[in-house]
Amino acid sequence: MTVLVTGGLGFIGSHTVVELVNHGCSVLILDDTSNSSLKVLDNIRSLCEPTKVEFVKGTILDDSILERAFESRVIDTVMHFAAFKSVKESMTRPLDYYENNVYGTLKLLQHCKKYNIRRFVFSSSATVYGSSPSPLSESSQIGTGITNPYGRSKYISEKLINDFATSSNTECIILRYFNPVGAHPSGLIGEDPHGIPNNLMPFLLRVAQKNHLDPHMDNIYASLSILGNDYNTPDGTCIRDFIHVVDLAKAHVAAYAMASGNGLQCEVFNIGTGKGTSVLELVSMFVKTNGLDIPFVFEERRNGDLESVYCQCKKANRVLNWKAERTVEDIVKDSWHFIQKRSS
């Protein structure tokens, strides 16, 4: 049996492929490389049994590509990571986000039905909670106060999956991520987005790279902008639930194992640490752990940013027998190791 992993060359998908293969699975990656590269495939294969990792290049919007993927192997489980994921970009390209994230999910579900797939694991996001107060549990209200098309695309996709699960034989598991960061301890895979990063950690890493490894990088990376220092938090900066990507990948393996033979229809799990860390605390830990100075400036708040977002993840601890084990120190150490190795 094979696990089909869409977006398997991306940040979270690549780490999950490694963990799945090391768990004993065979994996077929489907990725259009729009925000990744084939070099990632080589690095994945160097971290696990390479003969258990196969690859099809293409988009989930292409029926012929999906048919090729589903026909090529006996697929037991689909893990769906492929999505556009920039909150900022979604504000200017909403239709692209709905097409890729919602319609793409619909196309996958249609193929799950056609090929009688037993398990479907979906990469969702804490953005579905909108403005609900933290700590967020799986029973917290969703869909209210979502401020961007990216979050709405995940919310609509969740509704699609839930309706599909109640009318099919496919077991569905929705994992709501909080803030995935970090990199594989080997330094071989990590977050390396195309273009200017929209998220804190990859931008911080490029600032560190320009200031300490490559001074010829674009001057946009001369310093880090921290958006807002007047929030009602201990240091005035936003609080988020930063989870190491390896812990997140292991949660997918736990979901894969949990789904088997339990007769579930659709289960939802928060995947985070259950602890809040401020933006300034993360930056300070990066400086302290890696012994690097990071120039930064405080700027105005960004519209739509919430003051504090962190989860309650007791359900995942109990039902999946999973919990996050890596620390913020591990996150910043592994992230910088990835950049150093890639730059060498």
Could you list the active site residues?
150
Q: How far apart are CA 251 and CA 233, in angstroms?
A: 29
Contacts of 334 (CB under 8 A, 6+ apart): 182, 183, 184, 185, 187, 190, 244, 246
Largest CA distance in the chain: 56
Q: What SS3 state is found at 320?
A: coil
Contacts of 7 (CB under 8 A, 6+ apart): 13, 30, 31, 36, 80, 81, 82, 83, 123
Reading the block at residue 213, the tokens are 């490894």
**202, 208 in Cβ contact below 8 A?**
no
**241, 136 in Cβ contact below 8 A?**
no
Q: How far apart are CA 338 and CA 334, in angstroms?
A: 6
Closest CA to 331 of 281, 295, 257, 271: 281
Using alpha carbons, list the distances in angstroms from residue 47 to 7, 11, 38, 77, 303.
18, 15, 15, 22, 40
C-alpha neighbours within 13 Å on the C-beta side of residue 192? 23
Q: Over the range 294-328, which residues count as b (16 or more CB within 10 Å of their CB) and which as e?
A: bebeeeeeeeeebebbbbbbebbeeebebbbebbb
